[in-house]
Amino acid sequence: MKIAYLDCASGIAGDMLLGALVDAGAPLVEIQQAIDSLNLPSCRLLAKEVHRGGFRALKIDVEHEQEHAHRHLHHIVELIQASRLTPRQQEMAIRIFTKLGEAEAKVHGTTIRKVHFHEVGAVDSIADIVGSAVGIDLLGIGRLVASPVPTGRGFVEIAHGRCSIPAPAAAELLRGVPLCPSDAEAELTTPTGAAVLAAVVQEYGGLPAMRVEAIGCGAGTRELTNQPNLLRLLVGAAEEDHTATEQVVVLETNLDDATGEQIGHCTGELLRLGALDVYSLPIQMKKGRPGILLSVLCRPADAASLRSALFQHTPTLGVRWTTASRVALRRQRHTVQTRFGGVEGMVAWREGRPTFSPEYESCRKIATEQNLSVAEVQQAAAGAFDPAGGDISATS
């Protein structure tokens, strides 16, 4: 399977992605033919090599007749459906525009049917999005991974006036996407770029296991003073790998005035709210007082609610956090059949071999109901696991 990695060190925009795809080998002629079938007014894609921060990159400009149309989502969908794009290209382009429509409807308090696009409904934005969908398909990319994304800082002028970065629609589209800080006074990630991330990227983190076959660099419009304004795309064949790299947030607080009951209750609430793990360590605090270091591991999207829970359920006056990368074994839920009944658990792949770990709560429930020991149920579950079972898939 072809895999691609988006190195978004300077954010992502539609024209940057299109430039990176063409630079990585997507035929510009075929992308132009696909754009022509949309029957947009004299729309031509112009490619030229430029330099950004001392590095070469490909800049794609869209040349077209002047127009003042503000299209609704259904207008754009009709253009795509009437085109000569392949079914996969059409589905991908419509998915990206639908994500945009949902975000615009949310921030403007209207329905997706009524929302009309301003900047992203213009010819150049349609060409960027459709061209990117076609380019991804032409390169045969089946899985897309991206790095954490910077948004930039400052303000941007849009059809509705002056807005802080990220623009409202872009911020909505970036829900759940790992963001990273940037000192660049510019809009690094546009709504178009954010929509592509929301619609087609399956995973975020570091470079995945792959054999790189092509590298493309797409240039942004402006020069940045402290970094090259380009999007790098690495395309290649996926290596068999049963680990996944992801970004997590570590929340920590020091406690010297919390009871064991409070910490126990807080731990339960944190796990209920989505924490990946919660643990405590004994520490020595100022004036020799014994204390507890309470640590929480969570996904970036859950960090804010878990911080609030720490303040609500402990007497802490402060919470600190850091962002970390972790590598986790690929795993999937699985149930084995034993003489005591079905036992739930988790299959994980270690060096390509599946192993099964029964869930304690599932074993405890059976042990209680049938007057058995937990160890007896666990042993039966481990012995019942079939590594060659037809419902075991390392890609789950």
User: How does pLDDT run across 22-60, given as a tens digit for each residue?
Assistant: 999 999 999 999 999 999 878 999 999 999 999 999 999
Give residue 21's pLDDT.
98
* Cβ burial 206-224 (10 Å sphere, 16+ → b, else e): eebebeeebbbbbbbeeeb
| Residue for token pair 């997706």 | 112
Which two structure tokens, joined as six digits, stand for 343?
């036992």
pLDDT band at 350 (very low <50, low <70, confident <90, very high): confident
- Helix or strand or coil: residue 44? strand
If residue 163 lies in a helix (H) or strand (E), which one and from where to where? Answer: strand 161-164
Query: For residue 392, how far is the Cα from the chain centroid?
Result: 25
pLDDT band at 394 (very low <50, low <70, confident <90, very high): very low
User: How does pLDDT run across 244-281, given as a tens digit for each residue?
Assistant: 677 899 999 999 999 999 999 999 999 999 999 999 99
Give residue 122's pLDDT.
81
User: How does pLDDT run across 109-152, given as a tens digit for each residue?
Assistant: 888 877 766 555 588 889 999 999 999 999 999 999 999 999 99
> Rounded CA gap, 307 and 349, in Å?
33
- Mean pLDDT calculated for residue range 211-218: 97
Question: Rounded to 5 degrees, what are φ and ψ at 386?
Answer: -110, 105
245-329 maps to CATH 3.30.70.1380: yes
Q: Which sequence spans correspond to the domains of the chain? A: 2-241, 245-329, 331-384
pLDDT band at 396 (very low <50, low <70, confident <90, very high): very low
If residue 12 lies in a helix (H) or strand (E), which one and from where to where? Answer: none
pLDDT band at 65 (very low <50, low <70, confident <90, very high): confident
